[in-house]
Structures are given as structure tokens and as C-alpha cells.
Chains A and B, each alone.
Chain A
Amino acid sequence: MSETGVTTNLYDRLGGAAAVDLAVNNFYRKVLVDDRINYFFEGVDMERQAAKQKAFLTFVFGGPNNYTGLDMRKAHTHLVANGLNDSHFDAVVENLGATLRDLGVAEADIAEVAALAETTRNDVLNR
């Protein structure tokens, strides 16, 4: 809530933790059927992976988190070693947008989410 008490921040506008819970199934489902990126998510326990997807969504929704750029680097280092690049990053952002659109989120908010994801590109890709 801003000082005027009228506008809320992105995370609250999207619906906070409840929105993360709602989005995580749809987002994860999209990722698993997307042949461009699904092999990065194979073989991991689905519940644990879903918990990480929630961490991801909380982050890009602008929600409370303690992740630093360094954490983001470390989380993806082994993926970069396996070929993670800009095209995969773009695919994730695309799936994210599609998920939010399915949930009826406004385009302006989707753009804001994409912009937030964008700030992590260099860290995620370990550049």
C-alpha cells in the first residue's frame, strides 16, 4: 500500500501468496509440456520442484523474498553448464506471460512481471 493508500504494489495487486498458489500449477504444467525447456526440470521430485516454482513466482510477482543476485547465480550455475541460454530464458518468460493471461491478469501487470524477470537475466545466465 502506498502512502496515499490507493495504489498497491504489484504482488498485492496480483493477489499475493494466494495468486502464487493458483498460478504454480498452471505455470509448472506449461513448463513440463514445453519441449524447449522441460528437460531442465526432469528427474526432480515434483513437490520439491513445485516449491521452487513458487519461489520463482513469488520473486517475479515482486513478493517478499531473500534472494540475492548471487543466490540466483548459484541456483542456475549447473543449468548454464548444461547449456541454459537466452532462448530458454525467453521461453520461461513466455510461459509466465501465458499463465498470467489464462488467469485474467491485466497486460500492464504482465509487462511489469516480465520486466522484473528481466532484471535477473544476467544472474540466471551467469554472465
Chain B
Amino acid sequence: MPTIAFQECTVECAPDETVLDALTRQGLEIPSSCRNGVCQTCLMRATEGKPPRTAQQGLKETLIAQGYFLACMCKPTESLTASLPDEAVVQRVSARVIYREYLNGDILRLRLLPYGAFHYRAGQFLQIRRPDGVIRSYSIASVSEIDSLIELHIRLLPNGSMTTWLHKEVREGDCLEISGASGNCFYLPGAPARNILLVGTGSGLAPLWGIIRSALHEGHQGEIHLYHGSYNVAGLYLESELHALAEHHPQFHYYPCVDEGEGAAHHSGRADKIALAQHKNLSDWQVYLCGHPEMVKSAKRSAFLAGANLTDIYADPFVLSKTP
């Protein structure tokens, strides 16, 4: 009989019993609602053992790749070690700032060396925890298979608490506490022929830079179209690197977009609008949207209406914290 290890308990799962039933039978509290594999309230993650595929119906591929499953649909065929989603992604590591450089007027590139194992996929995000307890999320721009250091792109916000500290006080050699990595916005090997559309605004380029390099590193063959938007030319960055990447990889296309200002080198208008106007049929495309929350929200809807399936749209709105 398979067993389920959860927190301090190990529970036997009877034949035909779900993980949800087995755990709640022991008085353990697992959130649930429909108990029918529909609402995803009972989402859990197997950190050991493989949940049956039937317990992963309707989940995003990225979640499936990380062992997530629906407890109410899971009649395990092998023993599992399971956790609730949040708990599984917390992993605290101290990391030294090895390198800092300005990518443009207000975006700082930080490269960190983690002390201890730090597993991530390019495009996921981690949390930086300041000694006084302030926590903020930042997307990972490096690719673990290529880069030895973790790269972040931090945009300075006026009066922003964490960003002011990172920009003005943190120096090379200092240590930061990081945790993570989480999020579903990353490249999925296994479908090298599919086309990919990526739209990012501002430092929303950070995860996309990671995803694109990761895709090319994995030998992705389908088309890859990146639209990076900013208010003006000064807000763009990594332009020459991206142009160089496009020269080396004919399947990769780069479109820098600016709201204001004209020029042969840039597209004029909002990045998401330009992207969706140029790609009217997105059925079977994978779509990545990162940055300004309003852009992400409206582009998600437009991409969906243009034919992309919701499970193929990966979005990271850079939502600001409510508590400063």
C-alpha cells in the first residue's frame, strides 16, 4: 500500500482512496473545494515520488514538471512525499554580490554567488529578504546550465524601499539572503518546434532574457519573437546583445518598442499592441508576458482571444507590494 508523507506524518493510502481523503482522514487540514479536479484548491506538490498523470489534468506543464498534483484526484500508485505549494518553494540561501553594473539609467544588473544549492529555472523568480524583514520578488535572468552566477535586473523606483537599498547601499562583496525559486514562467524543453511569443516591459525583460537563452541553449527550432517595450529609448537595455543573438539565431526575432520617439531602430507604440497586431493567430503558440501588471493582464486576454490556450500563456505581472 503506498504511503503519503506530509509534514511530520506518514499516512497509508488505501486502494481507491485519494491523497486528499487519506490526509483528511488523519485530521490533517488540506484546503479543498470541488473535490473533482476542477477548482485546483487542493494543489499539492510531490517532492518525492511521481503522482499519476490523472492527478495532473488541467495543470500547467510548468507545474506538472515540478511535481504538482491535485490531491482530490490523486490515487497514488507509489509512495509520495507531499507538501502544500508555498512550503515547497521556500528555500533560504545566502548569496554574495559578485558583480554590479548599470544596464541603463535605472536598471541595475546584479550577479550573485549562492552559498549552497540553489535550484532554479531561468525565468522563475526568487525573493530577496533584507535584514529588517522587507521581502521583494525578482526574476532570474540567468540560465543555470550556462551561467555560474544568478543574475537579476533591478529597476529603481522612486522612493522604493528595496530598490533604493539595492541601488544605493548594496556593494560588491555584500551578502544577501535569497529564497525561492518559484513561478511558472520558464522555458519547457520537449516542444522544440512550437513558436514562442514573449512580451516584456521595463525590467520584465529579465525573465525573458533567461527564457530565450535557455530555449536557444536547448536547441529550440520554432520561431521566437521578443517584444521589449519601454516609455522611451533610454528605458530599453541589452539592445546590442539581443540584436547579436538575433544575428546568430535566425529563429529569434527582436523588436524593441518605445511609446515615445521615432526612429528606424525602434517600433513606435506599446509592445503588447505591436506584438498582437503582428501575430493575429496564436493557436498552438506559447506566450510569455512579464512586467507591468496592466500590460500583462490585457495582453493575456488578447493572446487568448488570438487563439493561445490559457495553459500555454505564462505570465508574471510585476505586482508591487501593498505594504511598503
Given A18-B57, A21-B58: A46 and B301 interface contact (C-beta under 8 Å): yes
Question: A46-B310, A65-B34 given as contacts; is B57 within 8 A of A17 (CB)?
Answer: yes
Per-residue CB proximity of A65-109 to B under 8 Å, as 1/0?
110000000000000000000000000000000000000000000
Q: How far is the CB of B40 from chain A (nearest CB, A)?
A: 6
Chain B residues, CB < 8 A from A32: 301, 304-305
Separation of A10 and B309 alpha carbons in the complex (Å): 25
Q: Is A6 an interface residue (CB 8 A)?
A: no
Q: Which of B57, B301, B310 has the most CB of A within 10 A?
A: B310
**What is the CA–CA distance of A51 and B38 in the complex, to the nearest angstrom?**
6
Per-residue B-contact encoding for A1-41, CB less than 8 Å = 1, 0 else: 00000000000000001100100110011001100000000
Q: Is A114 an interface residue (CB 8 A)?
A: no
Q: Determine whether A126 belongs to the interface, using a CB cutoff of 8 Å to chain B.
A: no
In the bound complex, residues from chain A placing their C-beta under 8 Å from that of B35 are: 66
| B24 contacts partner chain A, Cβ-Cβ < 8 Å | no
Interface of A is mostly: helix
Residues of B within 8 A of A17 (CB): 37, 57-58
A118 to B30, CA, bound (A): 35
| Residues of B16-43 contacting chain A, CB below 8 A | 34-40
Structural contact, B305 and A33, CB atoms closer than 8 A: yes
Chain B residues with Cβ below 8 Å from A64 are 36
Residue B300 is within 8 A (CB to CB) of chain A in the complex: yes
In the assembly, what is the distance between CA of A111 and CA of B109, in Å? 59
- Tally chain A residues at the interface, Cβ within 8 Å: 19
A51 and B39 contacting across the interface, CB-CB below 8 Å? yes
Given contacts A21-B57, A21-B58, A46-B300, is CB(A54)–CB(B305) below 8 Å?
A: no
B39 lies within 8 A of A55 (CB): yes
Docked-complex contact B34 and A29, CB < 8 angstroms:
no
Establish whether residues A55 and B38, one from each chain, have CB atoms under 8 Å apart when the complex forms: yes
Nearest CB to that of B40 among chain A residues? A51
Complex interface: chain A residues within 8 A of B305 (CB): 29, 32-33
| Shortest distance between the CB of A83 and any CB in chain B (Å) | 23
**Other CB < 8 Å A-B pairs besides A32-B305, A46-B300, 18 of them?**
A17-B57, A18-B57, A21-B58, A25-B310, A28-B310, A29-B305, A29-B307, A33-B305, A47-B310, A51-B39, A54-B58, A55-B36, A55-B38, A58-B36, A58-B38, A64-B36, A65-B34, A66-B35
Q: Could you list 19 A-B pairs, sorted by A, with CB under 8 Å?
A: A17-B58, A24-B310, A25-B309, A28-B304, A29-B305, A29-B307, A32-B304, A46-B300, A46-B301, A47-B310, A51-B39, A51-B40, A54-B38, A54-B58, A55-B34, A55-B36, A58-B36, A65-B34, A65-B36
- Give chain A's interface residues, CB within 8 Å of chain B: 17-18, 21, 24-25, 28-29, 32-33, 46-47, 50-51, 54-55, 58, 64-66
Which B residues are closer than 8 A to A by beta carbons?
34-40, 57-58, 300-301, 304-305, 307, 309-310
